[in-house]
């Protein structure tokens, strides 16, 4: 297994690395693209198809979709069905009623009968199951955690009784199927395109894929420490790539800090990024069109950049980007 991670603040750099990985395989070779969403995987496949003379055998999934397909054989063979959000809330409502009737709740007893409690409980228990937290781990904690542990145990029992697999169970079944060699896609080269790995069961599924696949390239946005740490723990070689913008530019600082809580250091603005706010999509389109006409006419200088441009529009005399709000 060869696992390589490319991380960058630039989406273009990460996409370029993914495209190069796919181009290194023959057009007839089977490869798998796993995106954060199915649409992201489809977009990458279309881009690769445009740049290649011919290509086929490219299979696209979201991570959840691949897990569902991988677990399908085991779910069907066991006559089980996948769970839904509505089903999870219905089960939560049932276990709250049973727990209250049995007098099992202490900390949550005053609020258990409120209408919003089962829905909030369903979300909490869903996250606990994704983290592979078992009821016995909560039983030794404080009173509130002990109540959650009792409710989690009841939910586990209801899922088994109804032969329902929620998202957490789905990923566990998919990982087991990969380890058993029952998933053909796990035997192929794989691209993990900016896939967030926020839960333990997702990380275990990716680990099972990595153990079977001959080569995996994973792209990770700068700042996604959860995914980076999970992949590094699997022995991945990390390649931190530049975003292509000059380090002292406004664009480099924007990419570095826009989605973080870190405070940028004080610096002189270079003027290559302009911010503006348009009151609606119609006015925004007008401003973008005006900016395109200005750029096409070859006007230069920072004074004319008051209205801003989309990032994809470049100044012929230099680099200039705009952020629209």
DSSP string, 41-98: HHHHHHHHHHHSS----EEEEEHHHHHHHHHHHHHHHTT-EE--HHHHHHHHHHHHHH
User: Tens digits of per-residue pLDDT, 29-72?
Assistant: 899 999 999 999 999 999 998 888 778 889 999 999 999 899 88
Coil vs helix vs strand at 219: strand
Judged against a pLDDT cut of 80, whether residue 306 lies above it is answered with no
Q: Check whether 297 has a pLDDT greater than 90.
A: no
Degrees (nearest 5) of the Cα angle 206, 122, 74? 40
Q: Is the pLDDT of residue 303 over 70?
A: no
Q: Would the pLDDT of 20 be above 80?
A: yes
Does the structure show a pLDDT above 50 at 173? yes
């Amino acid at each position: 297994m060869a696992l390589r991670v490319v991380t960058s603040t630039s989406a273009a750099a990460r996409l370029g690395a993914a495209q190069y990985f796919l181009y290194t395989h023959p057009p007839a070779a089977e490869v798998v693209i796993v995106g954060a969403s199915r649409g992201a995987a489809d977009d990458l496949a279309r881009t690769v198809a445009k740049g290649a003379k011919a290509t086929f055998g490219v299979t696209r999934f979201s991570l959840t979709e691949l897990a569902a397909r991988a677990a399908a054989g085991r779910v069907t063979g066991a006559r089980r069905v996948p769970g839904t959000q509505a089903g999870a809330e219905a089960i939560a409502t049932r276990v709250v009623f049973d727990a209250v009737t049995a007098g099992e709740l202490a900390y949550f007893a005053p609020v258990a009968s409120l209408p919003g409690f089962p829905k909030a409980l369903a979300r909490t228990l869903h996250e606990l199951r994704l983290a592979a937290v078992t009821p016995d781990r909560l039983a030794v904690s404080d009173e509130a955690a002990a109540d959650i542990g009792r409710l989690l145990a009841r939910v586990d029992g209801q899922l088994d009784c109804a032969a329902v697999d929620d998202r957490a169970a789905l990923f566990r079944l998919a990982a087991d199927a990969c380890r058993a060699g029952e998933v053909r896609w796990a035997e192929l080269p794989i691209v993990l395109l900016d896939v967030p790995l926020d839960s333990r069961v997702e990380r275990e599924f990716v680990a099972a894929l990595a153990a079977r696949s001959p080569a995996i390239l994973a792209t990770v946005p700068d700042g996604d420490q959860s995914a980076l740490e999970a992949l590094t723990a699997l022995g991945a070689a990390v390649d931190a790539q530049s975003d292509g913008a000059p380090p002292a530019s406004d664009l480099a600082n924007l990419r570095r800090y826009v989605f973080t809580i870190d405070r940028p250091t004080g610096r002189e603005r270079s003027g290559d990024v302009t911010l503006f706010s348009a009151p609606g999509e119609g006015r925004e389109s007008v401003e973008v069109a005006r900016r395109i006409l200005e750029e096409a006419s070859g006007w230069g200088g920072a004074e004319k950049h008051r209205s801003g441009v989309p990032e994809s529009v470049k100044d012929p005399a230099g680099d200039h980007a705009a952020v629209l709000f």
